[in-house]
Structures are given as structure tokens and as C-alpha cells.
Structure 1
Amino acid sequence: MGWRQATERALYGPGGFYLRERPASHFRTSVHASPLFADAVAELLARVDRALGRPADLALVDVGAGRGELLTGVLAAVPPALGARLRPYAVERAARPGGLDPRIVWRRGLPAPEEGLRGLLFANEWLDNIPVDVAETDPRGAPRLVLAGPDGRETLGGPVTGPDAEWLRRWWPADSGPGTRAEIGRPRDAAWARAVRALESGLAVAADYAHTRASRPPQGTLTGFRAGREVPPVPDGSCDITAHVALDACAEAGRRTVAERDAREGARRGARPAAADGRREPGPGARRESGGEA
């Protein structure tokens, strides 16, 4: 099977890594490294609150919430007046941990657009754990699907076709010859578009290890982590499996989602759609943030 299916089973299937383990036991994100991160998110939340006119219900949606560490930190950091209006949501496929603040709503999936949430959606190192397939360029220059066995051994499968091939041509073309690899980020683009749709208005932010088309790594970035150490990716549930994010592609999917929604809303009101501003391309560097007004 391809790496996307193998990773999905290893991380989120019965007895999967993320359903069984505490992520903080195996790797540290900014959330775990310092309480200053929660303080910074609390300050961003306050700015969003002011921009929205201090609504009666202010949503904070933490996507890929782990064990709720970020929301716990933000709840402790915000002023009481803001905290009284705050509606914190943890989106996480693992079970709700014991002892979590009862104000935190725990859910397995993203809020539906019909819920009309207004506020801040924050996805910290979430996109890099959305499973993706891997392609490798064969001697004839054609991208082929990389198949993964339960022990992590790889073989080349058939050619990459259809929407995945179109995604590669646009976002990660094979410019370096046979043997180069690419992670097909289309599932992440779709996931980010769904995340942006979860807010009626506010700000959606993704922070992750990432790259842009100008700096794609020729061998890809697929890897594993166990007990704080980088290890070969083996899809047997024994380790985390991750790959850096083509965040420019995700950002474009988010912009397109907002523009389409603005167009529908404008048509419904009989008005010209508003410009979709406030969104930006990620800049150079290894770590990116993608922000979009929803």
C-alpha cells in the first residue's frame, strides 16, 4: 500500500500511535517547549477579539490539540473578561484526557460551517501529521507511487495519475532527475480548506515545518520519531510518522475557499464579492505560518 494508507493505519487505526501514546513523550512542539507560546496565542486571540468587535461568544479552535496543553495555557493567560466569553474547542482524534478543564469542548472532527463560529482557529504542527503518499521519479522521468511494507521497506508501484499527478506538476515538479522524491500534499490542502471553512469569521493560522516550491527538498522529508529521537519511518504503530508541509499549496487552498465563500455570499446578497485580503504566502525558511481571514 502507499504511504498515505500505511501511515493512516499506523497513526490512527486500532491501537494506532496517536490513539495510544502521549505525543509529548516522543517529540516537543512549541506548545510543550515554553509557556510563552500559549501567552503569544492568547495575545493573538485578544487581537482577533478586538477586530471582531468583542462578540458574546468567542471561539478558540485548537486543531490537533494533543492533550489540550495549548488550550489549558491560553485559558490561564487570558483576562477574566475575555475568558468569560471564550468558547475553547479541542479537535483531536484521541480520547479526551482526564482532568481537563471542563470549559474545553472535546471533539473528533472540525466544527461545521453551520455552527457559525467566530474567533481564532490555530493548527500547530497538525498538517504535518496528515498522511500523504510519496512519489519517486523513475529512470524515464515519470513519478511513481512509493509502496510501504509493514517493516518500512519500500518498492515502486504504478505511475501517479489523476489529481495527484496534477498536484505534483503544479506544486512539486520533478526537476532533479531519477530518484528524486516528493510528498503529495493534496490531502493537506483539502484539510486546511476544511479548517478555514470551520470559521464564519476570524483568523485561521497554521504553524508547521514546511517548504515552498522554490525550496522543495529533493528527497522529501518523510521520517519517524520515537522517544524524542528521529527514527526511520515504519508504519507499524511504533513511532510517529511525519513529513514537512508544502504550505504554499495549503495557503492557496485556504484563499480559494474564502474567495468561493465570499462569492456565494455576495451572490446571495446580490452584491459584488468582497476582496479576500488578509492572507499571505509563507516566506523563506524552514518553519512557516499561514494565516487567513475567514
Structure 2
Amino acid sequence: MRGWRPATEEALYGPRGFYRRPEGPAGHFRTSVHASPLFAGAVARLLRLVDEALGHPAELAFVDLGAGRGELVRAVLKALPAEVASRARGYAVERAARPAGLDHRIEWLPEPPSGVSGLLFANEWLDNVPVDVVEVDAHGVPRLVLVAADGTESLGEPVGGADARWLEKWWPLPHPADGPPPADSPPPAEGPSPVDSPPPAEGPSPVDGPSPADSSSSAEGLRAEIGRPRDTAWASAVAALGRGLAVAVDYGHDAGARPPFGTLTGFREGRETAPVPDGSCDITAHVALDACALPGGRLLSQREALRTLGVSGDRPPLTLAATDPAAYVRALAGAGEAAELTARGGLGDFGWLTQPVGIPDPFPLPLPLADPLPKQEKPSP
């Protein structure tokens, strides 16, 4: 058995990993990119704002981080006006092989290009950066969750070092009332599965936790996902950008509302399933976007971001139906797609982390960093 982080790395990106499969991610779940071309149009408008902030450089980069099969980068380049498109260069960053027939303007890379100027956009990338999972044992001690190839879990060693410090700062778990068990105390034989063993209806908050007077057993079973690898991955991606704006879009949570039993799960063919690290399914966990944010970064919801970029779910006026019925039908369809992208309880609740690099923030939203992020499920195809 091994921790969830190395197991997920192999299951997603190994030679027989999920993201090497020929059908690509779109065969298993639906992102904003697949929901409507309006999403790519909004990203193209954001790229134009970045272009203006950069002073219209000779080469304007659009870096699609976690590009899948290149759907977003293709659509963004297509949505640009001719003058901007003539200067635009697309970079698709993905571990899978380059798909056949991809636009020659798009460079296919395993890592973000270094020193380019433009927009780096990571749509549902951070949730697939593997993380380890910890669980509080019967003594109140957070231990690493180990997993076998068939998804069977057990508890391993207590968490320490940099991972323990990350948890203390970003996802505090209750401390044991009587201290840790003796060093030679064996871990429990097996821990509950996050899917097959549902949590009780009510449980203590991972932030507030039980007081020292509480029994340490009241915290047993609480989980957290150590987001330190995601913080590092995001910082590395931002550092690769010479000048411009980096944006991460994902479903997540903030320090005021960490999920007490974690979020690790699997997806296969449009349905949520047990996370089994054998390459047969996507393995994903929500993102602590507030922990990823670097100085100058901001958090906002997708609903706020897309509406600012001109995507509205408002119905067209009925008068248009009388004067131009075909235009009314098209506008109504567009409003339906926009409503899906901005819906509360759905895609609209995704978080956007914006990070300007060497330029004033081009995003016209004076929002604070700690905009709450409601829990969001990954949509089915």
C-alpha cells in the first residue's frame, strides 16, 4: 500500500493511466469548455484585456494548462478578432500525446513555456494534481491514508514535517486531548472508505474542532487533503509566465468551510464512483484555492467572472420573437447555455483564482481574496 498521492500519480498519468486513454477527459465528465462555446468566448475576451494591459505585444501567448485534447485553446484562438489572432500563439500543456489535426499555431508541451507574455489559463487542472489524504484515528492523531490498487484503504504513519505545518495553517484538524499514542502504537488495521462508508449526518467542523475538554474519539474519521503539492504546482506555473495573467478555475473550498470528511472521489463515464487507483477512472479532489493564492491573487466565483466578461443568462426580450423569430431562438439557446455556466449550485460556483504577473490586474472586478467558494460537484457529460 502507498499514500494517495503516488497512487493517484500513477493511476492518472502512468503509461496505462486514465489521462492516456484515447477518449480523453470529455468521455467521462463535462467541464465548462464542453458545456458551451460561450466559455471560450469569455476567455478570449479576457485574453484581449491582457493584450491591452501588455501594450499589444508582437506575440501574445495563450497557455492552456491541462489542455485535455486541446478543445479550449482551439476555441479561444478561433474566437479572437483577426488583428489579435495574427499575433496570438497557442500553447497546450498536457501529458497525453498531441491529438491529430491540431492547429499548427498550437504548440503541444509537457510543461508551461517559460517567459512568454499573455494569459495562462488552468481550467480544472489543479484538482488533478495528486494529493495525499489524512484521517484522524481513534486517538485523535492525523495519519496518512494508504491505498491498495483495488481502492482498499488503511491508516499509516502520523503526519509530520511540512505536511503537518500545511495542515496546521490551511486545514486544521483537532488535536488529541491526551497527546499522541506511544511511538510503537500500531495504526488501525483499516480506515473507512470516503465513498463506501458515508460520514455520519453531523460531525465536528475541521476548523473549529473539539476543545481539549472533548473526547479525542469525537474527531475520529475526520479527513483532510494536503494541498501543498497544488500550491507548489501553481507557484511553478505562475513563475513560468514572463508577464500577463495566470488564472486557475476549479471547484474548491476556503478556510472558512473545509469539508470535514474530505472530497476525494472518482468519475467514470459521467458518473461519480469510488476512487480506485487502477487507471479506470478519474481521481479528483476539490482545491483549497485560498492556499494556492500568491501575493496579489484574488478569488471570485465563475458566475461573477463570466458575467463581467459578458456571459449572461438573461432571457432575450419577447419583442425579438415578433420581429426576428430565428434570432430569438438563437438568443434563447445562448441564454440557456449562459445560465448553465453561471448557475448557483452548478458551474457558476467554480472558483477563479487570478494572479497578475508584471502588469496591473486587468480583470475589472474589485473583489477581495476570500470570496466564499460553495461546494461544487463535477458535472456529468
Same fold (TM over 0.5): yes
Asked if residue 280 in structure 1 is aligned to residue 298 in structure 2, the reply is yes
1:209 corresponds, among 251, 263, 270, to 251
Residue 7 in 1 paired to residue 8 in 2? yes
Q: Which residue of 2 aligns with 1:137?
A: 136
Residue among 352, 355, 371 paired with 1:292: 355
Check the 8 A contact 1:247/1:282 in 2, yes or no: no
Q: Deviations over 1:148-198 (max 9, x none)?
A: 011101000000111000000000011342210001000000000011111
Per-residue CA distance 1:95-146 (angstroms, 9 max, x = gap): 000011111000011223xxx2111000000000000000001122221000
Question: Partners in 2 of 1:289 and 1:48 — Cα distance?
Answer: 16
The 2-side partners of 1:200 and 1:140 are apart by 49
Amino acid at match of 1:293: P
Q: Aligned pairs, how many?
A: 267
Work out the CA distance in 1 between the residues paired with 2:3 and 2:352.
Answer: 28
**Aligned match of 1:18:** 19
The letter of the residue matching 1:243 is: A
* Equivalent position SS for 2:52: helix
Match of 1:259 in 2: none
* Conserved? CA contact 2:301–2:350, under 8 Å: no
Distance 2:81 2:300 in 1: 31
Moved over 3 A (4+): 281-286
Output the amino acid matched with 1:5. P
Deviates more, 1:158-167 or 1:134-143: 134-143
- Structure 1 residues 283 and 27: alpha-carbon distance in aligned structure 2, compared to 1, 3 A threshold: closer
Once the 2 structures are TM-superposed, how far is the Cα of residue 283 of structure 1 from its aligned partner? 6.5
Report the Cα distance in structure 1 between the residues aligned to 2:87 and 2:350, rounded to whole angstroms.
32
1:92 to 86, 91, 94: 94
SS in 2 for 1:48: helix
2:266–2:274 CA contact under 8 A, matched in 1: yes
Structure 1 unmatched runs, 5+: 256-276
2:360 alignment counterpart:
none
Give 1:117's aligned residue: 116
Q: Residue 49 of structure 1 contacts residue 119 of structure 1 at CA under 8 Å; is this kept in 2?
A: yes
Instruction: Please give the alpha-carbon distance, in whole angstroms, between the structure 2 residues aligned to 1:119 and 1:111.
Output: 11
Q: Which residue, out of 48, 71, 78, partners 2:73?
A: 71
Question: How many Å apart are 1:287 and its aligned residue?
Answer: 1.9
RMSD, matched Cα: 1.3
Q: Equivalent residue for 1:38?
A: 40
Provide the rounded CA distance (Å) in 2 between the counterparts of 1:105 and 1:246.
30
Name the residue aligned to 1:171: 170
Q: Equivalent residue of 1:45, what SS?
A: helix
Higher strand share: 1
The aligned amino acid for 1:180 is L
The Cα shift of 1:281 comes to 3.9
Distance 1:198 1:86 in 2: 18
TM norm structure 2: 0.68
Q: Aligned partner of 1:250: which letter?
A: C
Q: In the alignment, what sits opposite 1:262?
A: none
TM-score by length of 1: 0.88
Q: Is the 8 A contact 1:67 1:97 kept in 2?
A: yes
> In 2, Cα distance between the equivalents of 1:214 and 1:159?
25
- Cα deviation code 1:191-227 (max 9, x no counterpart): 0001111111110000000000100000100000000
CA distance in 2, matches of 1:125, 1:205: 11
CA distance in 2, matches of 1:11, 1:71: 22
Whole-angstrom distance in 1 between the partners of 2:41 and 2:268: 28
State the SS of the aligned residue for 2:120: strand
Judge conservation of contact 1:248–1:282 (CA < 8 Å) in 2.
Answer: no
Could you report, residue by residue, the CA deviation over 1:35-93 in whole angstroms, capped at 9, with x for unpaired residues? Answer: 00000000000010011100001111000000000011111100011011001100000
**Higher share in helix:** 1
| Structure 2 match to 1:260 | none
1:156 aligns with 2:155: yes
Change over 3 Å in CA distance of 1:282–1:189 after alignment to 2: farther
SS for the counterpart of 2:252 is strand
| Equivalent position amino acid for 2:8 in 1 | T
Q: 2:363 maps to which residue? A: none
Alpha-carbon distance, 1:282 to partner:
4.8
1:147 aligns with 2:146: yes
Alignment-mate amino acid for residue 44 of structure 2? A
Q: Which amino acid aligns with 1:290?
A: L
